[in-house]
Amino acid sequence: MSSPLVVAVAYDRLCTFEFSCAVELFSLERPELQVNWYRFAVCAAEPGKLRAAGGITIEAPYTLRLLDKADVIIIPGWRDVDELPSPQLIKKIQNAYARGARFCTICSGVFVLAAAGILDGKSVTTHWRYADKLAKRYPSIKVDADALYVDAGQVITSAGSAAGLDMLLYLIRKDYGVKIANQVAQRLVIAPHREGGQAQYIPRPIAQDERGRLSQLLDWIRQHPAREHKLADLAQRAAMSERTLQRQFLALTGYSPYEWIIRERVAIAKELLESSDSSVSNILELTGFGSEETFRRQFKRVAATSPIAYRKQFFGN
């Protein structure tokens, strides 16, 4: 079975950072992972040399015809949110979507898919600067202006620049599992996982000492997932009031303390299900879910599958 073909679309006035995210994650050979890694290629949205941010030029080896074969199509930030993509690009996107290709957009790249009409009724995100414009121009699309990335099934959209890395790592987790995604993140020297619902930006800056205390608290919770983490105890450890802790937690992570802890426990459970043959009862004990019923319910809510089904899909990969 051949590995998935990932195709990044290049265009004149290309957003270099977003494009480089795709190149870095998918173009490098990764024999250490011992998996059938992605194939990667770049196609040009228009003929000739393409100008890119930073004063460089790019010559893409393929035309838009390559999109007819792509399994995953990546659209970096679009050059101008007020400029419609070419009819040729729109048609290729529509055809690829109809045959089941998956799409990932970074920042304003979502405007390309919106113009192609494949986002109607879907939940998406984009950089917070463009969210209102996207929602007004395409009222049939549900725009989440706060999320880092949104998975709508066949389409995954992400916010500004660095959130593209989070989204693409999320795609790798979906395709190859947590262990492989963490190895890729480690090579990139970035955090292995940020939830898509995490806030894009903090509306009120957190004081540096509060940020430090909260970061230390998050690290401590990760190191002690099996403990019963009561809000009062966490607030005391962070030297904050309960109200302040809840507000800062939401601003920094996009979740309440309770929801963030649940999601961290599910993430740990995923790793254990993938990398060990530990029983469900042992895993729920290590992750602090308390009961098997609670573990199964929360795992399915967050991961959209059961622990047993997840293990069957990823264990041994």
Please tell me the total number of residues recorded for the chain in this structure.
317
Burial of 248 (0-12, 13-18, 19+ CB in 10 A): buried
Measure the CA–CA gap between 286 and 135, rounded to whole angstroms. Answer: 43
Q: Which domains does the chain have, with CATH numbers?
A: 5-188 (3.40.50.880), 202-317 (1.10.10.60)
Q: What is the pLDDT along the chain (317 residues), one digit of tens a residue?
A: 689 999 999 999 999 999 999 999 999 889 888 899 999 999 999 998 999 988 899 999 999 999 999 999 999 999 999 999 999 999 999 999 999 999 999 999 999 999 999 999 999 999 999 999 999 999 999 999 888 899 999 999 999 878 899 899 999 988 988 788 888 888 887 766 565 555 554 444 444 455 578 888 988 998 899 999 999 999 999 999 999 999 888 877 778 999 999 998 998 898 888 878 888 889 988 999 989 999 999 998 888 888 888 888 766 54
Distance of CA 15 to the CA centre of its chain: 19
Rg (CA), the chain: 21
User: What is the value of pTM for the model shown?
Assistant: 0.72
Q: Cβ neighbours of residue 167 under 8 Å, at least 6 residues apart?
A: 104, 106, 148, 149, 156, 157, 158, 196
Contact 271, 179 (CB under 8 A): yes
* Residue in 156, 30, 141 with CA at minimum distance from that of residue 104: 156
